[in-house]
Amino acid sequence: MRVSLTRDFVKKIPIPKRPIDYRDTRLKGLILRAMPSGVKSWYCEYARAKRVWLGRVDAVGYSEAFEAAQTILSESYRGIDPIEARKPKAELPKLIDFLDGDYGGWARANQRAHEKNLARLKTAFKSLLQKKLDGISGLDIERWRAKQVERGLSHETINRDISSLKACFNRAVDWEILQRNPLAKVKKVRTDDRVKVRFLSKDEELRLRNALDDREERRCRERDSANAWRAAREYELLSDLRDQHFTDHLKPLVMLSINTGARRGELFDLTWENVDLKRRTLTVSGVSAKSKRTRHIALNREAMSVITGWQEQTEGTEGLVFVNGEGQRFGWIKTSWSKLLKDAEIENFRWHDMRHHFASHLVMGGVDLNTVRELLGHSDYAMTLRYAHLAPEHKLKAVEVLDRRAV
């Protein structure tokens, strides 16, 4: 029965012999049900045979029922199931529990640098760790950003941390722990993404190469001295380092980095199966690559000499190309690298900068940026554009077009 469900009408409804539904003429979907027991209740019918109980008439007035029904109908129109939306929700985890639990498990299975990434999130957002996921807002992040700026952190570092946290919340949305990412509207601070890249000058590269040679000679002299001591005592002699191409792993790793642009981790993961000396190529497996895409790097003469000498010395045919003293994958070679830079009197230069050195000299030598991008394995062309300024002759040729017009 369709009627105008005014307050007076509701009061005057007689007790029926069977349940009767009165449908409001003002709002389609709002229903008043009268029962033989005398109980009168409000309902909202948002789809065929789907209703939500709004309350009894003696507790909920017409205006309240009208507003509640409007909300439910609006939710239904937007694709939200009102019944599901009103079910008691499981308590959301705190950020620290999410990082140690579901997200941590996912990161360990999908991120090679998961330990570093998780540790960074816990350190950077320490003040938010005890908050529940739905209790962290965009305003919290903006307040956090302001404090980091006061501490002197760069906008690049802050942007990276925020991106990592947003990615964490995206996983929560994908797994339906959250309905939406509360940080979706938090924007990065615009920064200069064409910063000057660090590469070695001719003099610095010469000093680095000389320091490597001096290190090799020093290690040979130390072995000679040790064997002289052992011979005097009739001990078994150690292998003669002068009979080998290299005294250890450092020089071949550095020379390959300079000549291939491979990342440190990519060289640590390199296997002999991915070295093709006939075709003069080194293959970086997608498992090791940061972009998760396999790429092939051509080997120049110096790189070929290094890898050939190392294979001859180690008799390598399978497994990892470079292993530590225990025969395992290298984790880091910080001590020997730092000592090498000190001996070469080179400052403000990281291992990763050898990758910049490789790319910079390619561009300065006239290699086009797209080829450089392929060799570096950049998935985003914008990353390669940081080297564009090293080839100013291209821009000069471009503006010279105007000179031809004026003639």
Sign of CA dihedral 3, 8, 14, 15: positive
The CATH code of the domain that includes 15 is: 3.30.160.390
Q: How far is CA 103 from the centre of its chain?
A: 13
Let me know whether 68 and 105 are in one domain.
no
The CATH code of the domain that includes 263 is: 1.10.443.10
Looking at residue 109, its pLDDT comes to: 87
Looking at residue 397, its pLDDT comes to: 64
Let me know whether 33 and 107 are in one domain.
no
Let me know whether 346 and 257 are in one domain.
yes
Name which of 300, 252, 251, 263 is nearest 377 in CA terms.
263
Q: By the 8 A CB rule, do 306 and 252 touch?
A: yes
Considering the domain boundaries, does residue 90 fall inside one? no
Which of 174, 194, 221 is the endpoint of a domain? Answer: 174
Partners of residue 82 on adjacent β-strands: none
Q: Which residues contact 130 (CB under 8 A, 6 or more apart)?
A: 94, 95, 96
Q: Range of 134's domain?
A: 95-174
Looking at residue 179, its pLDDT comes to: 84
Let me know whether 29 and 145 are in one domain.
no
Which of 125, 159, 174 is the endpoint of a domain? Answer: 174
Looking at residue 89, its pLDDT comes to: 58
Considering the domain boundaries, does residue 224 fall inside one? no
Looking at residue 381, its pLDDT comes to: 74
Let me know whether 143 and 20 are in one domain.
no
Each residue's pLDDT, cut to its tens digit, for the chain (407 residues) gives: 888 888 888 888 889 999 999 999 999 999 999 999 989 999 999 988 888 889 999 899 899 999 999 999 988 888 887 877 666 556 789 999 999 999 999 998 888 778 889 999 999 999 999 999 989 999 999 999 999 999 988 888 999 999 999 999 999 999 988 888 989 888 888 765 555 688 899 999 999 999 999 999 999 999 999 999 999 999 999 999 999 999 999 999 999 999 999 999 899 999 999 999 999 999 988 777 777 788 899 999 999 999 999 999 998 888 999 988 888 888 888 899 999 999 999 999 999 999 999 988 888 888 888 888 888 888 777 778 777 777 666 566 666 667 765 55
Count of the separate structural domains present in the chain: 3
List pLDDT tens digits, range 8-45: 888 888 899 999 999 999 999 999 999 999 899 999 99
**Nearest-angstrom CA–CA distance, 78 and 76:** 5
Let me know whether 161 and 122 are in one domain.
yes
Considering the domain boundaries, does residue 202 fall inside one? no
Let me know whether 68 and 143 are in one domain.
no
Q: What is the pTM of this model?
A: 0.62
User: What's the 3-state SS for 126-145?
Assistant: HHHCCCEHHHCCHHHHHHHH
